[in-house]
Structure 1
Amino acid sequence: MHDLRVTGFVPSWCSKRCRRKGAEAKRDALRGSFNISRRERLAIYERDGWTCQLCREPVDPTLHWSDNMAASLDHIECQSWTLIPDHSAANLRLAHRLCNALRGNRRDAA
Structure 2
Amino acid sequence: MLLERVGREDDCRCAQCKKRKNLTDSIPKTGQRRATFHGKHRNSVLERDNFICQICGLPTDPDANPSADQYPTLDHIIRVTDGGDDDLDNLRTAHKWCNAAASSSIFGDSWVRERALARFGQQNG
Q: TM-score range by the shorter chain?
A: 0.5 to 0.7
CA contact (8 A) 2:38 2:87 kept: no
- Aligned match of 1:28: 33
1:31-81 CA-to-partner distances (Å, cap 9, x unmatched) read: xx513345x201110000110000000111101111111010000011121
TM-score (norm 1): 0.63
Q: What is the CA–CA distance in structure 2 between the aligned matches of 1:73 and 1:37, rounded to whole Å?
A: 8
Mapped pair 1:72 → 2:77:
no
1:73-92 matches, within 5 Å, as 73-82=74-83, 85-92=84-91
CA distance in 2 between partners of 1:94 and 1:36 (Å)? 12
Counterpart amino acid of residue 88 in structure 1: D
Match of 2:56 in 1: 55
- Unmatched tracts of structure 1, length 5 or more: 1-11, 13-22
Based on CA coordinates, which of the two structures has the bigger radius of gyration? 2
Q: What is the CA-CA distance between 1:27 and the residue it aligns to? A: 1.3
Percent of pairs identical after alignment? 30
Cα 1:37–1:80 change in 2 (3 A) is: closer
The equivalent residue for 2:12 is none
Matches of 2:90 and 2:98, distance apart in 1? 17
Count the aligned residue pairs.
85
The equivalent of 1:45 in structure 2 is 46
**Structure 2: which 5+ runs fail to align?**
1-18, 20-27, 114-125
